[in-house]
Amino acid sequence: MKVTINDVASHAGVSIKTVSRVMNNEPSVRKDTYDKVMAAITALQYQPNAAARNLASSRSFSIGYIYDNPNAYYVIDMQRGLLDACRKHGYELLIHPTNAKSPDIVREVIDLVQQSRLAGLVLTPPFSEMPHIAEALEKIGVHFVRIISGSTPSPKLSNCVLVDDFTAAFKITNHLLELGHTDIAFLCGDEEHSSSGERLAGYQAALTKRGITPNPKFIVPGSYSFESGVKGAKQLMNLSKKPSAIFACNDEIAAGALFSARLMNIAIPQQLAIAGFENSPFSRQTWPPLTTAHQPNVTIAQQAAELLFRHAKPNASKMLADKQPVFIPELLVRESTAVSK
Amino acid sequence: MKVTINDVASHAGVSIKTVSRVMNNEPSVRKDTYDKVMAAITALQYQPNAAARNLASSRSFSIGYIYDNPNAYYVIDMQRGLLDACRKHGYELLIHPTNAKSPDIVREVIDLVQQSRLAGLVLTPPFSEMPHIAEALEKIGVHFVRIISGSTPSPKLSNCVLVDDFTAAFKITNHLLELGHTDIAFLCGDEEHSSSGERLAGYQAALTKRGITPNPKFIVPGSYSFESGVKGAKQLMNLSKKPSAIFACNDEIAAGALFSARLMNIAIPQQLAIAGFENSPFSRQTWPPLTTAHQPNVTIAQQAAELLFRHAKPNASKMLADKQPVFIPELLVRESTAVSK
DNA sequence: ATAGAAATGACAGCGCTGGTCATCTGTTAG
DNA sequence: CTAACAGATGACCAGCGCTGTCATTTCTAT
């Protein structure tokens, strides 16, 4: 019922100490001994007692995931990916919803890490973009991995997983251009999220490449919310020169724009094409369904956790330590942009 | 930096065992000793080391939350509530997404409980409605709390938090009746979820009370999905005698019905009123926004965890042990039913 | 004053890791 | 073929911070 390290040792015909060495990836264990021990571990389904390990070594076997994101689907996907990686490595996941805007957010995070004795932390926006959090974490020597918007790996970003919003936004804009649209507007998300900036840049780059100068009136500041989309679309459709397509910074904004267009009796996509970003579940459930970009969040989270373990595990192989994953969200064409103008 | 039980003991002038007794609510600690120790604990900001407690006592200080629910907002809310309660009681939350339809789901749950040495489990649908899970859990003596659909507390349901879907559905149906609708259809959710049955019963009861015999053709079986709503609405609107209102078992189905109605050029709510259930975030973002019923999921989760702790903590006061919370989701009228027929 | 109950304390040990040596095995140079 | 050495393994102990058990002390009621 309860398999201890002793059982594994006698089953493998080695000493407890050797099993412990294997469990902790210590060097100087011969290959065949290692294999023998591993075999015993799987045969007996040995699960080390986390509490005992924890207590004896004073390091911990859990990582933390801090979130403050109104998009529940994003959070759930992240969790799923992190959990997968944790299970694989025998770690636990501590989740911590909180308020990123809180004035003592740094202290809160530090407290969490220290009280729960976390081995590491996975940071998603907005936390991954807060320099004082990264600094504080570095100062107390806690490993962390950030998931951020970006396209080019660099040594400075060694503990980051990059999501290439720029390229994905470029592709979406290109899709609209190929449909014949030239007057394409952009509804921004929150300025403080770098994803919004990256997507805007991708949009602008695509236009420029076609020889179109982005029209400043077509770039509407806003936030990642339905309401923002409602307002933004209204503003755009009241211009004397209206856009024929809108690229919204995420699906929620796009849904708002859709809503707004409907109030104004504008036919989608005949009179106005609308594209979103994120592929949230409801992007398929709007009418018409939204063209959008799909982020493989579960996989992204897995990779982030793997990266974290590579840094956090004392003796893990450093071979792969510098692989820096970049994910490019994939274009998903649906009916909100289906018909060319 | 790191305060141990020793520090507390010497600060309070007692033995470490006595501090331990206080920490564990053991009886036979004199009032003034108790106060002295508590004072020392607060003065020193003592935080017991979970790993050590765990190891020494072989009980654990974490509870589990198993989920398999496509509705991310529901899961996030549950987590939030559970986490709140856990923090308050010094417990941790272990989350475990899984597949409820898996053939060895019972074994998986049992393994989880035993391997992670969980103090208890919170079960939401569909797990809370699977009798073999409850049986297995009882057999191995693990505490658990179920969140289920129901209206009347009973001793058999002593470890349950009830959500009164019946009454809420009754209210929604009543709302439609008051708008003058008499031909009200019902789009069912998954049959195996008792919530669907309860809501159906509430709907039927409301009709019956008004002297209307529910029309079997107006009751469409289905599942908790957008697609089901699309199909259901189509089927209803192809009847020779069409309903003038649809009550969908949840918002997702309602959104599907909305989508379907739009394809058929049916004006909402002028030609057809549609109501949902759940108050998921996107129910506000459909067009028109959905009339629905709001479940206070965060609070429900908190109560469930509190109930669990009362059962799981060995020496906690049993005073409140038999309070059985019942939550009635609240009617939220929005534009999808706003105009009377 | 004294039995008996209640409150408190001493001590071992939960399962594991870290450290220190001692021993054993395998490899290489002579 | 053997000496000499490095690498691999084991034996052993302490101790992480706490709880369970049981012995001891203190209080209460007669």
**Could you read off the pLDDT of B166-218 as tens digits, one per residue?**
999 999 999 999 999 999 999 999 988 899 999 999 999 999 999 999 999 99
* B341 band by pLDDT with thresholds 50, 70 and 90: very low
Q: Token pair for residue A164?
A: 């290439």
Q: Which of chain A's residues 17-46 bind strand C, using a 7 Å CB cutoff?
A: 17, 19-20, 23-24
- Average of pLDDT values for B145-161? 87
Contact A121, A113 (CB under 8 A): yes
Distance of B29 CA from C8 C1′ (whole Å): 9
Please name the residues in contact with B246: beta carbons below 8 A apart, sequence gap of 6 or more: B184, B185, B186, B187, B232, B233, B236, B254, B257, B272, B273, B274, B275
β-pairing verdict for B330-332 and A92-97? unpaired
**Beta-strand pair A184-187/A245-248:** parallel
Strand D nucleotides within a 7 Å radius of protein CB atoms: 7-12, 15-21
Backbone angles phi, psi at A248, to 5 degrees: -95, 145
When pLDDT is averaged across residues A244-248 and rounded to a whole number, the result is 97
Q: Whose CB is within 7 A of strand D?
A: A 13-18, 27-30, 32-34, 52, 55-56, 58; B 2, 4-6, 16-17, 19-20, 23-24, 48-49, 52-53, 55-57, 59
User: What number of CA atoms fall less than 13 Å from residue B285's CA on the CB side?
Assistant: 23
Output the pLDDT for position A117.
Answer: 84
pLDDT at A322: 57
Q: Summarize pLDDT for A104-117 with one digit per residue, the tens.
A: 999 999 988 888 88
Contact B282 A287 (CB under 8 A): no
Does residue B319 surpass a pLDDT of 50?
no
Contact A47 B258 (CB under 8 A): no
Q: What is the mean pLDDT of residues A242-255?
A: 95
Give the closest residue to D14 (Cα–C1′).
Answer: A56
Q: Which range (A194-198, B267-271, B321-325) has the least confidence?
A: B321-325
> Which sign does the torsion angle of CA B114, B115, B121, B122 carry?
negative
**Which pLDDT does position B214 carry in this prediction?**
93
- Residues of A within 8 A of B141 (CB-CB) are none
Average confidence score pLDDT of chain B: 90
A313 sits within 7 Å of strand C by its CB: no
Q: Is the CB of A13 under 7 A from strand C?
A: no
Q: Mean pLDDT throughout A18-35?
A: 88
**CA A315 to C1' D1, whole Å:** 39
Q: A83: which chain B residues are within 8 Å (Cβ-Cβ)?
A: 95-97
Note the pLDDT of residue A319.
45
pLDDT higher than threshold 70 for residue B90: yes
Beta bridge pairs of residue A144: A121
Q: Closest Cα to residue A280, out of A244, A245, A305, A256?
A: A256
Residue B231's identity, in one-letter code, is K
Beta bridge partners of B263: none
- Which residues in chain A touch residue B286, judged by CB atoms under 8 angstroms apart? 286
**A6 nearest nucleotide via C1' and CA:** C15
What proportion of chain A, given as a percentage, has pLDDT over 90?
66
First to last CA, chain B: 69
How far in angstroms lies nucleotide C2's C1' from the CA of residue B320? 41
- Does residue B47 contact residue B79 with C-beta atoms inside 8 Å? no
What SS3 state is found at A204?
A: helix
Name the nucleotide nearest B8; use CA and C1'.
D17
> Whole-model pTM?
0.87
Residue in A70, A84, A284 with CA at minimum distance from that of residue A190: A70
Beta bridge partners of B101: none
- What pLDDT score was predicted for residue A177? 97
Under an 8 A CB cutoff, do B255 and A49 touch? no
The residue among B316 and B151 whose pLDDT is bigger is: B151
In whole angstroms, C21 C1' to A24 CA is 21
> What pLDDT is attached to residue A333?
96
Name the minimum distance, in Å, from the CA of B209 to any CA of chain A: 35
Q: What are phi and psi of A281, to 5 degrees?
A: -55, -35
pLDDT of residue A341: 45
Which H helix or E strand runs over B137? helix B131-139
Q: Is the per-residue pLDDT at B289 higher than 70?
A: yes
- Confidence grade of residue B276 (pLDDT, cut at 50, 70, 90): very high
Residue for token digits 């693990």? B142
The separation between CA B86 and the C-alpha centre of its own chain, rounded to angstroms, equals: 16
Structure tokens at B138: 């009882």
* Residue of A249, A258, A202 lying closest to A224 (CA atoms): A249
Rg (CA), chain B: 25
User: Which ranges constitute the DSSP H helices of B183-325?
Assistant: 194-209, 226-237, 251-263, 297-312
For all residues of chain A together, what is the average pLDDT? 90
Q: Beta carbon of A225 within 7 Å of strand C? A: no
Q: How many CB pairs under 8 A join A and B?
A: 78
